[in-house]
Amino acid sequence: MANYEIPFLNWLSLEQTKEEEFQMEVDTREILNSDDQEEVKRLCATLYKENWAKDQLIKSCLGRIGELEGIIIKNRNNFIKKLFRN
């Protein structure tokens, strides 16, 4: 999908196979065509809870990635300083 100029951002792009896209479309249409309102309500509530949990996980992961990138930058800068001191 996206090919960012900054290589470390490439892992953020999501790519789906045609089969995955098709399956998502089939599943979505099944939900939209359902006449069972109680089932749709339960599905919606479950998806809301799962989405919230994934959001929390992603926030935590991105925070940790930021910390690690900071360490890498600091170590790289220290390495460069040592190179030019000698």
**Among 22-26, 60-64, 82-86, which is the least confidently predicted range?**
82-86
Which one-letter amino acid corresponds to residue 1? M
Residue 86 pLDDT: 63
Instruction: Say whether pLDDT at 62 is over 80.
Output: yes
Distance of alpha carbon 10 from alpha carbon 6, whole angstroms: 7
Percent of the chain with pLDDT over 90: 66
Chain segment 67-82, per-residue pLDDT in tens: 999 999 999 999 988 8
Instruction: Say whether pLDDT at 85 is over 50.
Output: yes
Count other C-beta atoms under 10 Å from residue 43's C-beta: 13
